[in-house]
Amino acid sequence: MSAEDRRRSAPAAQRNREPILGVLREALPDSGTVLEVASGTGEHVAFFARELPGLAWQPSDPSSEMRDSIAAWSTGLDNVLVPLALDAAAEEWPLSRAEAIVCINMTHISPWAATEGLMRGAGRILAGGAPLVLYGPYRRAGRELEPSNEAFDADLKQRDSSWGLRLVEDVADCATRNGLRLERVVEMPANNLSLVFRKA
């Protein structure tokens, strides 16, 4: 099977990669290893690796099919490492340190335990001052949810009752319990947000 045949594609990845890159340029260090948790198809990590070549990118995903897709998209990119089998909710991760973590569109399409595991793992492997960058649709306390996100949230919960848009405040509280502080919230296109955390 050719690399092209193994590549999966998510249309949203093409639409949101440039705005996310803008946030990453400001948040990430100039060098070191960036762990991407729940890399999915691998389109994001391949794009970011080309645009930010000073960083070593460590993609991961619990799905073997997605890891095959990540590897296919990353063909020829020397700064993308072999994808890891990593479940965010697991007590132990297959790496012990990273200079930054990126996680795109996971918190709403996974049980809350995955977000708890993400924060626990980030608190464990990041050094002081290192960033954790999340991206996706979120709820915010005291703000009405946009109609498109309301419909999306309802659809997610119909597909799996443990899924759904998370409150930024709940995510931030979970981060705080694991030694991370919410540094800033960035408004993104299509009613999405980027949340930039730092290890205390």
Report how far residue 6's alpha carbon sits from residue 41's, in angstroms, rounded to the nearest whole number. Answer: 10
| pLDDT at residue 67 in the model | 98
Domain count of the fold of the chain: 1
Domain that residue 90 falls in: 3-199
Query: Of 16, 191, 15, nearest to 102 (Cα)?
Result: 16
Sign of the torsion angle spanned by Cα atoms 22, 27, 29, 34: negative
Per the CB < 8 A criterion, the answer to whether 39 and 70 are in contact is yes
Q: Determine the pLDDT at residue 5.
A: 81
Q: Residue 48's pLDDT is what?
A: 98
What pLDDT, on a 0 to 100 scale, did the predictor assign at position 3?
Answer: 58
DSSP SS3 for 2: coil
3-state percent breakdown (helix, strand, coil) of the chain, nearest 5: 40, 25, 35
Torsions phi, psi of 136, nearest 5?
Answer: 155, -175
* Weakly modelled stretches of the chain, pLDDT under 70: 1-4
Q: Which CATH number is 146's domain given? A: 3.40.50.150
